[in-house]
A and B are shown apart, each in its own frame.
Chain A
Amino acid sequence: MTAVDTDILAVAREQVLERGEGLGQEQLLAVLLLGDDRLEELLQLAHEVRMRWCGPEVEVEGIVSLKTGGCPEDCHFCSQSGRFPSPVRSAWLDVPGLVRSARETRDTGATEFCIVAAVRGPDARLLSQVREGIKAIREDGNDIQIACSLGMLTQEQVDELVAMGVHRYNHNLETARSHFPNVVTTHTWEERWETLRMIRAAGMEVCCGGIIGMGESVEQRAEFAAQLAELGPDECTMNFLIPQPGTPYEQYEIVEGRDALRTVAAFRLAMPRPLLRFSGGRELTFGDLGTKQGMLGGINAIIVGNYLTNLGRPAAQDLEMLDDLKMPVKALNQSL
C-alpha cells in the first residue's frame, strides 16, 4: 500500500476508527499535508475517532502557578525563564492562595487541578509547599483530583509525589526530538523522557504534550505526534505558541487557525485513546469559532479559566460551549 494510490483519510478510517490503531509518522505527514479542501472531512474523522474510542465526555481542568518566573532553564518560548528579559517577575503562591485556587477550580465543575512550578526540578522547599498545599486542599473538603507539573524528577521525588496522592504528572516533551535542541539548550529531550518513564513506572498517570508553532517543520510536527504516540500518555496537552515579550520567540507568528486544526486532528489520529487537551494559546490561535471546531475535531479535554502567566476565557463561557455541543463534563466519580 502506498500513500499515492490510497487516500490517507480512507486508510485512517479503517486503521484508526475501526481498529483503534494510531497513524504512524509518514501517515501523519500525509494528513498534515492535506489541503484546506479536505479539512472538514479530516476534522469529522478525528471527531468520530474521539467519540468511538473516548466517548462524548470532556475532562475539565484548572491550573495554577505555585512558583512563577525565575526559572534557570532556557526554553525559548517561556516567559518564566530567568534568562530572558521577560516582564514576568518571580512570585510564590502561599498555601491559602493554593486552597482558594483549587476551590475556584472545583466550583467550575472541573475534576482536575494541576499545581505547576517554574523550575528545572523541585527542591525540598517546593515539595514541602506542595505537600502542605495538598493537605490543606483536602482539609478544605475539596476532593478534586490533583496533578502536578514540577519539572524533572528523581526517583525519590516521584515516590514522594505518589505518597502525597498526586494522581497525574505533567511533563511536556515540548516538540519533536529533532527540533528540541533548537528550543532548549539547558537540558535534553532524553532527560525529559526519563522523568516520564519514572512517572509511568510509579503508576502515576502521564500527561505529556507540547507547543505547536515554535519553528518546527511540518515533518517535525508529524515526528512529534509519532513520538508522543510511542510514549502513550494518558493525556496529551496541546499548546499553541503565544509569542511572549522578551523571549527569543517574541516575534514568531501565531499558528494559523486551519493549520492548528489540522494539527489537532492529526494528533487525534496518532493517539485515538488518550485525553487530548486544549491548553495555552487557544484563545489567540482559534478564537471562539475555532475552539468549537477543535472540540469537534478530536479534542476531549480543556483547561478552563486562567493559565500560568496568561489569562483564559471565563470558565462559564467554555462550560456554556460544551453545553451547546451536548458534550457532558466528566464527573469526579467517573474518573476515579
Chain B
Amino acid sequence: MSTEFCARCGRVEADGDHTRCAVLLASIDPPRFCADCGRRMVVQVTPAGWVANCSRHGERTSTSPSVD
C-alpha cells in the first residue's frame, strides 16, 4: 500500500512530522484520511473494530488495514 498521505491528519506524509499522528493511530485514533489520496473517509467505529471508506479507494477495516 502506498502511504502518501497521513491517515490521521490527511497531510502529505513527506511533509512535516507525523510522529504524534503515528502514535495516536496506533492507540486511540482510527484512520480518518485515505492514505492513497488524502480524502476524508467515512469511518464507523464498532466495539471491536472499525471500517473506513474512501469514495475512490474503497473500504479498509481494522482487520485488514492495508487492503485497499
Q: Identify the A interface with B (CB < 8 A).
A: 62-65, 68, 87-91, 93, 97, 100-101, 104-105, 108, 242, 245, 283-284, 304-312, 315
Contacts and interface: CB of A to CB of B under 8 A. Distances in A.
Contact of B44 (A65, A242, A312): A65
B45 A311 contact: yes
B48 A87 contact: no
B46 to A, nearest CB: 5
Nearest to A280: B28
B16 interface: no
7 contacts: A64-B45, A65-B44, A87-B10, A87-B40, A104-B46, A105-B47, A306-B50
Interface in B10-68: 10, 27-30, 32-33, 40-50
A88 B43 contact: yes
B9 A100 contact: no
What secondary structure prevails in chain A residues at the interface with B? loop
Interface residues of B, number: 20
B32 A310 contact: no
Contacts of A245: 8-9
B29 A306 contact: no
Contacts of B30: 309-311
Most buried by A among B10, B43, B47: B47
B19 to A, nearest CB: 15
A53 B37 CA distance: 55
A312 B29 CA distance: 9
A306 B10 contact: no
Given A306-B50, A311-B27, A311-B50, A91 B32 contact: no
Contacts of B47: 62-64, 101, 104-105, 108, 304-306, 315
Contact of A88 (B9, B27, B32, B49): B32
A89 B43 contact: yes
B29 A311 contact: yes
A100 B46 contact: yes
Nearest to A62: B47
B23 to A, nearest CB: 10
A260 to B, nearest CB: 16
Given A283-B27, A284-B28, A310-B28, A68 B46 contact: no
Contacts of B8: 245
Contacts of A93: 44, 46
